[in-house]
Structure 1
Amino acid sequence: MSEDAAPEVAPEAAPAGRAWTTPAGVKLGPVDQIADPGARNYVLQIGDKRFHGFVVRRGEAVFGYVDRCPHAGLPLAQVLDRYLTDDGSLIACSWHGALFEPETGVSVGGPCVGARLSPWPVRVEEGRVVTA
Structure 2
Amino acid sequence: RNFVLQMRAGRFHGFVVRRGDGVVGYVDRCPHAGVPLAQTLDDYLTPAGDLIACSWHGALFTLDEGLCVGGPCLGQRLGAWPVAVVDGVVTTA
Q: Indicate the TM-score class for this superposition, using the shorter chain for normalisation.
A: over 0.9
Q: TM-score, normalised by structure 2?
A: 0.98
Shift of 1:68: 0.1
From 55, 70, 84, give the equivalent of 2:31: 70
Give 1:112's aligned residue: 73
- Runs of 4+ displaced beyond 6 Å: none
Give 1:54's aligned residue: 15
Shift of 1:48: 5.0
Structure 1, unpaired ranges of 5+ = 1-39
Structure 2 distance, partners of 1:92, 1:56, is 12
Give 1:12's aligned residue: none
Give 1:34's aligned residue: none
Shift of 1:58: 1.4
Structure 2 distance, partners of 1:62, 1:69, is 19
Structure 2 distance, partners of 1:96, 1:47, is 31
Give 1:5's aligned residue: none
**C-alpha RMSD over aligned residues:** 0.7
Structure 1 distance, partners of 2:69, 2:43, is 18
- The structure where strand makes up a greater share of residues is 2
Give 2:82's aligned residue: 121
Structure 1 distance, partners of 2:22, 2:49, is 14
Q: SS in structure 2 opposite 1:73?
A: coil
Shift of 1:47: 1.7
Give 1:81's aligned residue: 42
Paired residues, what number? 93
Q: SS in structure 1 opposite 2:77?
A: coil
What percent identity do the matched residue pairs reach?
69
Give 1:24's aligned residue: none
- Computing the radius of gyration from Cα coordinates, the structure with the larger value is 1
